[in-house]
Chains A and B, each alone.
Chain A
Amino acid sequence: MKGLMQVIPVVFASLVPALVYSAVVSVSPVITENEATLIAWAALAMTAVFAWRGVDEYFAQRGATVAAMKQFGETFVREFERPLLQPDRAERPIASQLRAIPDRKRLEICLAPRNGRRYPNLSDHRTNVAYDVIRVLELVQDRRFVCEAVYAQGSWVVVPFQFHVGTKQAGGR
């Protein structure tokens, strides 16, 4: 459905020259066919410009959203794993994945133990995971990302976030 909504402006834009041409020809008898064609082409050019700007804005916004999500996700994972790092062991203590769904403004950070470790998991460390999520959010201080209920998916602990663009600090105007 969402895809269909995105196609509508494109279809509309492609119909613009034909609509403008027929409208001009039927409304004003003094305008010749050549002149009507020119007007239709001009309308097409203007529509193309507007459509281009719209598409460009959409992609720019999408890119910015993805970048913000990526930065937040990486910072979150880094802070989450920092206390688990063993100074004499090179390998990372947790596995992580980021799932970004920019159109829905949703980010899912997936964490799982690795190298024989047991944390994070929700079966016996639910309280510790909840504590750690709050700890990291306090450190990161990015109010645009609102955490939702943590859940398990296989061996992954999924920490979902809703991204609120333009959210102001509490108490801000």
Chain B
Amino acid sequence: MNILLLSAGGGGGNILRSVKTLFDRDVTVIRKTDAAYAERLQAAVTTRFLDTNEFSLADLPAEERLLIGTRTTGRLGARHNPEVAGQALEESKDDVEALMLEHSVIVLIATGGKGTGAGTMFPLAQIARRHRKLVLPIFVRPSFERHEVDKRRYDYALKVGEQFDGAKIRLIEILNDRGYDDGDPKPQLVVWERMNLPIARGLRGLIYVLWDLSQVDPSDLSTLLAGNGRLRIGFGEIDPPAGADPSDELIEHAVGGCWGNPYYAFSRPAGTSLVCIHGDWSNVVDAKIKGRLAESAVVGTGGSHYNPLYTRAVQSPKPWGVTALFGEHTGVHQPLEVDWRFDRPGVPVVSMAVDAANTVALEVQADEGDAPAIPESPAVIPIGPSQSDTKSPASLWEFAVAVNRSDPAALALARDGAVAGIAIEGSEVRKLLGTMWFRAIVPRFSEEWRGCILSALVDGVVIPNHVVKVGRQAMLLSALNYPQLQEIAAKSWLPDVARPDLELLVAVGRLWGESAVSRFRFVPAPQQRETSKFASLLEGFRS
């Protein structure tokens, strides 16, 4: 899993520089105690500075520059005109798309100051969404009252936020106005660091989460970022005395800092949110942190919508604390369709497997049934000359977990098609296909493996031939073609008893092709009373 930090324009570039500096500072601290882990952390993040002005990029390493629209702008910038910046992006769209395709998570950073950031922010997010990337846009609304920009540009920046709302793309919006405090004036550099530090530390927490998607269900992340509304990154540092738990006061302070980030637009109650705790302390401290955050989230709101996804980074180097990505509750949304890419270009494979003690254990509160259990043994199986005696996985489930962790031995096994020795049961395949993380790793298996898995599934599983509604017509499941199955799964109301079977067929069609669906055996479905939607709602009230 890799993350692209992409800035747009001069203002966004300045923030990215600052975030990069803070992130590098963290990595430097980590390197002193754990070089391999620091390497992993750094290799997970790619930074690119997109701009229309060649001179703005002059101080950056060549590989980090992304100059767009050279014909449109003559390399001289967007002339403070967002529309020119939009044309420049259109000119270089292929380059930008190629860059985005290499990454699963794209963090966009821009400001609404002049032309390039304001003009490209939304189109960039749209491109990322079109390619089914998990996009996390960070946009700074400048202050006109404090004369950072004139009112016209401020209004344009407002429109950018509205575009995100209209397209149902969640947005982290920083309000520069809030950086000015007449009662407690601070130098601009201090304010910027306060604004940017949570982003740098929040990204670190996000990397932990994305590192091991078998521990946090990707569908949770897809839900977290689905829909419209704002997001807010928070960080609270906890530095306890050596070998002791942090005091309540330290916890209170950290939770306050994590929750109460004043610079962000965030007006609704918190909904699905991601909380990552890192530090060597007791589980009592973890519970206190979670409890205080929940208290903060529910106070004055009724709190019924707060749905935290907890992750825990074990034995992570300092700085410790709590990072969170809070999402506004804006209703219930369909999870995003995300292309979870598992290649980790540039990550030295050996460094990932060197020290099992540094692997990150993640804990997720919701949908635990979907995520495979953390094995008792070291999460990453060591590789190297002594690998010949590595125990081969006993079941497909265990093997899939290892593949999902990018375990080199498992990956090699998945690639070369050596199927022998692992029992594959249809019911197990069916259960695995019900999880998003498994569906995401199916393409990593060789053709032979995929064939065996499918054969086990179609041989071991029979599908009840449910009657489903296609428009006004009632049809048997076996009579439907793949596009019809897809349409019904996406749009139609289905009885609970039929939905898992239909979703299985859709998943198989998507992963193995339309023809694979026709290989299933159907048996008559148990007779059911035909009920209306309304009647099914009343079902629960009947004794």
Contact = CB atoms under 8 A, between A and B. Distances in A.
A173 interface: no
Given A83-B158, A127-B150, A131-B152, A88 B144 contact: no
Nearest to B181: A116
Given A83-B158, A118-B145, A128 B266 contact: no
A112 to B, nearest CB: 14
A119 B155 contact: no
Given A117-B145, A118-B145, A119-B144, A131 B154 contact: no
A87 B158 CA distance: 12
Nearest to A84: B145
Main secondary structure on B side of the interface with A: loop
A118 B151 CA distance: 13
B250 interface: no
A83 B162 CA distance: 11
Interface in A113-157: 116-119, 124-125, 127-128, 131-132, 135
Nearest to A90: B267
B530 interface: no
Interface in A50-107: 83, 86-88
B274 to A, nearest CB: 21
B145 A119 contact: yes
A83 B154 contact: yes
A132 B151 contact: yes
Contacts, number: 29
Interface in B151-168: 151-152, 154-155, 158
Using C-beta atoms within 8 Å of the partner chain, give the interface range for chain B.
10 to 19
Interface in B112-167: 144-147, 150-152, 154-155, 158
A88 B266 contact: yes
A124 B150 CA distance: 11
A138 to B, nearest CB: 12
Interface in B247-276: 265-267
Given A83-B158, A117-B145, A119-B144, A128 B150 contact: yes
A83 B153 CA distance: 12
A129 to B, nearest CB: 8
Contacts of B145: 117-119, 125
Nearest to A118: B145
B184 interface: no
B182 interface: yes
Which 3 interchain pairs have the tightest Cβ spacing? A87-B267, A88-B267, A128-B151
Interface of B: 144-147, 150-152, 154-155, 158, 175, 182, 265-267
24 contacts: A83-B154, A83-B155, A86-B175, A86-B267, A87-B265, A87-B267, A88-B265, A88-B266, A88-B267, A117-B145, A118-B145, A118-B146, A119-B145, A124-B147, A125-B145, A125-B151, A127-B150, A128-B144, A128-B151, A131-B150, A131-B151, A131-B152, A132-B151, A135-B155
Given A86-B265, A87-B265, A127-B150, 4 more contacts: A87-B267, A119-B144, A124-B147, A128-B151
